[in-house]
Structure 1
Amino acid sequence: MRDLLVVSIVLAVLPFVFRHTWVGVMLWTWLSVMNPHKLAFGFATELPLAAAAAGTVLISLLTTRDKLRMAWSPPVGVLFGFVIWMCLTTAFAFDPAGSWVQLNKILKIQLMTAIALMALHERKHIELFLWVNVLSVGFFGFKGGIFTILTGGSQ
């Protein structure tokens, strides 16, 4: 049942991503931070839902009606400098194979971060982005609090 709910939510939101990239950023953030598909016990646990959301966001960069612009500021410059620094230091890592695998993951996340920086420029977008993060993390705090109250913290 949870599988159908999560997949239905994702499939219902994906068409809106083509029109508004910021909707895709919200969906990808929710799937990445909360991992609702990992709370299901069936087929959805192994579906690459966040990758589907990210792919749709990349396509939406071409189809969106929204203005996408990078908010160049000193923190953004530092972030991109740090990404370049990670690429350089990975080349000289003690475990090159494992380091390149991890760098690949990080670069995908940083790509979505850059898209979020371009798409989330209105106040309502930023507030909604904060709420998606707060509620995604807060869900586990609430769930863990209930568990602790009911069990006294023991399993």
Structure 2
Amino acid sequence: MTMDFMTAVRTCLTQKYATFQGRASRSEYWWFFLAFVIGGLITSLIWLPLYMIYALALLCPGLAVGWRRLQDTGRPGWYIAIPFGLSLVNTVLAPTMPSEQAMMAGEMPNMGSVAVSAVLGIVSLVVFILYLWWLTRPSQPETNAYGPPPVPQS
């Protein structure tokens, strides 16, 4: 029931670009993830704006395959948004670095925002490990609330 690299990429980019219903096998998810990482490395080495375009273009299929992968393990697909939300909150609340002049004068960043950012960082790490665990679990062999087990496409 495994999917090869090319089939997984083709499925995620053409057949299920924005499909959030159904299930995705481990091989479909991880092959697409590998393709995304390789493409991201190549585009970032070429030109940073190209990488940004690439990442935006693959945001929807990346979320969709993650959504379907969680459903394949019996979890609600919307859980895939939790790490993104934590990252966004941490980015918004992250303390700003003091300027060089402020550092010379002995000024420190707001320690309350540093503490909040540290706690959010620890929570994000725990969530990352949990999601890594979930995304590597085998598919539920039987039909679950999200449909029948995925069938490899050729």
Structure of higher CA gyration radius: 2
Greater RCO, 1 or 2 (C-alpha within 8 Å, sep 6+): 2
Give the shorter-chain TM-score range. Answer: under 0.3
Q: TM-score, normalised by structure 2?
A: 0.25
Q: TM-score, normalised by structure 1?
A: 0.25
More helix by share: 1
